[in-house]
Amino acid sequence: DKLANFEAIVASGERIEAGEWMPQQYRAECLRLIQMHANSELMGALPEREWIPRAPTLRRKMALVAKVQDEVGHAQLLYRVAEDLGKPRPQMIEELLAGRSKFHNVFHYPVPTWADVAVIQVFVDGAAMQTQGALRSSSYAPYARVLKRICYEEDFHIRLGIDVHRTLAEGTGPQRAMLQDAINRWWQPIMHFFGPRDQASPHLQTMMRWRIKVKTNDELRQQFLRQFVPLITDYGLQVPDPQLRWNEAEQRYDYSEPDWEEFKRVIRGEGPKSAARLALRNEYWQRHQWVREALDAWGMAA
Amino acid sequence: MNQSALAAYLIAVADDELIIGHRHSEWTGFAPDIESDVALSSIAQEEIGHARLFYERVSDLTGNDPDHIAFGRPPAEFRNAVFAERPNGDWGYSMVRLFLYDRADQERLNALAAGELRPVADLASTVRREERYHLMFGEQWLRRLASATEASRARMQQALDRAWPEALGVFEPVAGQEELGAGVVPVAPSEQLARWRQSVAAVLESVGLRLPAANGGEGTGGRSGRHSDDLRVLLDEMTSVWRSDPQAKW
Amino acid sequence: MPRLAELLGKSDADAARLFAVFRQDTRNDPHVHVGDVHATDAEMALVLAKEQFTRRDPCVNLWVVPYSTIAATPYDDAALFEHVTDKSYRFGGSYREQQRITRPRRK
Amino acid sequence: MPRLAELLGKSDADAARLFAVFRQDTRNDPHVHVGDVHATDAEMALVLAKEQFTRRDPCVNLWVVPYSTIAATPYDDAALFEHVTDKSYRFGGSYREQQRITRPRRK
């Protein structure tokens, strides 16, 4: 029967295509995951975009516009994938604007200095790369295809960020201090990014079996720490977690347990910038109402 | 050929492209639809890239580093047309300005590309090729918004009426331009303006918009450093990080 | 053989304003489906597709097609394409290898 | 941005009965234009396409589209897609090289 056939396809490592039969739970989980990913790309454009008008050189300005443009482009690609799972794009955007669907914790925080842009591009995008890289083996074919391009472009973002990070780390005293301050402010949200340690649960097992989730939260966090902690310590900068150290015996990083209450609050939309950013998006959405009406009328006539 | 007159002229072109590119980049993340957001971001990048190329020609003449030219001058030393420094307003005004500005830039580039000064002529013809897409994007949006509904047409006419006088200001001659000699800019500003008016009139009328009464003069001043407060606000923000330490590496 | 829009559960109105984008990287490459754009009409779809799908990739030509006009085979009976009866006589080993070598480079 | 049929000098009637065929080899691949078939309608086009384009090649899915609905950029206008001015900042090219020399050893 259909479920057995579906399980067989997934178990064999094959992928499921849009328009193909799938269990309702698989469709719902994929939609929730990909919609949140799309929302996060669209909202993820806002923090760095504040620095486009203030980028300090012509080349940094062009590169930052290109980088934020990629985030908007990723939202376009991801909403397109989520759409075929049963929710039109306008409805997903309206759910985001109404605060009814989530976006990643890291985009609920302020971006007070130019160094924040470097920290976001290196460490936030670096964290996202772990999750997105793993999901390239996702069982949902349209998602896996889109992630191939997204990961290629995210890799560019990380390299761009490393260049700014290195320039500040090797720059003047005030530049180094600005960078350390940004790292201090962003470390907790970045540790939150991967979510709490997975409790073994039937839900988790199904997600892993169906390859909607490919690695556990803590595997991804450890993968991130191994790659990115050196980028701080190699420049003589501090990781703002006194407990953080490499545990040779267990081949993993030990770290202070993040404050998961703050994480839950932020995800619910009570982060320092949650309301302000959603309000800003809503304001533009209202201002463009006349443009949407005009395009609808033009589309009808075409 | 007067080197400082040439530098002054190229700075005016570069300032136009930088400031209009800066304004376009302010839409990144907030355009009415996601696909147009991506497209306008590319246009913004290219305008800023064009500015950088013109600043490099200025740098060949004056020895100043392009970033210093772009980030190190007070408003009074900027030579962009006032038209470019105005805030974006709504999407309709932004699309009308993009359309009118790019058509004016096209006439300027046509003139420079026909000039005898090889480096400037080559740069102009390179940049002109990239501006083709900008013209397409602007015209597509202009045509749809102007022809879709009575409400959208009225808004676009309003935006056109507001933009028109300052669009004429793009053709205000740069101080010292006449000393450049015909070799560099073989088409006089008044002739560029006439050709511009003819080409935009054809499009505007075809989409049902009325050509405002021409009364140049309002949009001038920028070419000699007389700017609106909009430019001061823009530059305060744009140069804030660079000014915090102009000698540092950013 | 249903229309693709029906397979994806899209209304005709939605499908008419969603355009599949096909990019041809070089003269000797075929057009490849690289994604889709929402647009009011084909002309705007081409303008928007250019920046979303050729910012970094080479391109010599773009096609756009409204989803409403695409007809497709369903995935559910992939058996449709399984070569049930032995058709190896058609393949002729060398042909398949040779075919793989000459197949145009594709992403 | 004219319609492809006009570019190819095809009448509407002809273009409506000529179908572009797009084949998806595996579920990891996008649909790729593999050729065209003449048919009176889409259903027939899919049947013919299956016979003509999947006998020797792997295939999990087929699309067919009438040429009359394809919009295209003009063939001789490849210049539209050329990156005229320096876009290396989009590839992080220069960063990539700088990176490799000075990037702290990782992994």
The DSSP result for C19-34, as a single string, is EEEEEE-STTS--EEE
Q: Which of D30, D92, D96 is facing A145, going by the closest CB pair?
A: D30
pLDDT (tens digit per residue) in A99-116: 999 999 999 999 999 999
Residue type, position A33, single letter: L
The per-residue pLDDT for range C41-88, each reduced to its tens digit, is: 999 999 999 999 999 999 999 999 999 999 999 987 656 676 655 555
Interface contact B127-D84, CB threshold 8 A? yes
Name the minimum distance, in Å, from the CA of C29 to any CA of chain A: 19
Smallest Cα distance from C99 to chain B, Å: 38
CATH code for the domain in which residue A208 is found: 1.20.1260.10
The alpha carbon dihedral of A132, A136, A141, A142 has a sign of: positive
Mean pLDDT, rounded, for A19-38:
95
Asked if C85 contacts C55 with a C-beta cutoff of 8 angstroms, the reply is no
Of B18, B155, B248, the CB nearest to A290: B155
pLDDT of A277 reads 96
D21 CB within 8 Å of a chain C CB: no
Domain that holds residue D32: 4-102
CA distances from B217 to B81, B166, B169, B222, D65 (A): 12, 8, 7, 11, 55
Domain range enclosing A95: 2-301
Q: Which two tokens stand for residue A250?
A: 């267990």
A66 to D30: CB separation less than 8 angstroms, yes or no: no
Counting the structural domains of chain A, the total is: 1
The residues near A231 (Cβ < 8 Å, ≥ 6 apart) are: A122, A123, A162, A165, D104, D106
- Contact call for D27 and A166, based on CB within 8 A: no
Query: Which chains are adjacent to chain B, needing at least 3 Cβ pairs under 8 Å?
Result: A, C, D
Residues D95, A159: C-beta atoms closer than 8 Å: yes
A296: Cβ–Cβ under 8 A, 6 or more apart, which residues? none
B158-180 mean pLDDT: 93
* Closest residue of chain A to C11, computed from CA coordinates: A88
- Domain B3-210+219-244 homologous superfamily, CATH: Ferritin, core subunit, four-helix bundle (1.20.1260.10)
B207 touches chain C (CB under 8 A): no
Question: Domain tally for chain D?
Answer: 1
Asked whether the predicted pLDDT for residue D92 surpasses 90, the reply is no
Residue C107 lies in a domain: no
The confidence band for C1, taking pLDDT boundaries of 50, 70 and 90, is: low
* pLDDT exceeds cutoff 70 at A82: yes
Q: What is the CATH number of the domain that holds D93?
A: 3.10.20.520
CA distance A242 to A245: 8
Per DSSP, A105 falls in state G
Using one digit for the tens of pLDDT, what is the confidence trace for A235-291? 999 999 999 999 999 999 999 999 999 999 999 999 999 999 999 999 999 999 999
Choose, out of D23, D89, D105, the residue to mutate when testing the contact with A (most A CBs < 10 Å): D89
β strands within B4-91, DSSP E: none
Asked if B36 reaches chain C (Cβ–Cβ under 8 Å), the answer is yes
Is the pLDDT score of C96 beyond 50?
Answer: no
pLDDT digits (tens, 9 = 90+) for B180-237: 877 899 999 999 999 999 999 999 999 999 999 876 677 899 999 999 999 999 999 9
Q: Check CB contact under 8 Å for A20 and C76.
A: yes
Is D107 domain-assigned? no
| Nearest neighbour of C40 by CB, restricted to B133, B137, B144 | B144
- Pair B178, B73: CB distance under 8 Å: no
Cβ neighbours of residue B203 closer than 8 Å, sequence gap 6 or more: B99, B139, B142, B143
Q: How far is C14 from chain D (nearest CA, A)?
A: 16
What pLDDT is recorded for position C106? 41
Facing residue for C48 by CB, picked from B35, B41, B144: B35
Is 70 exceeded by the pLDDT of residue A204? yes
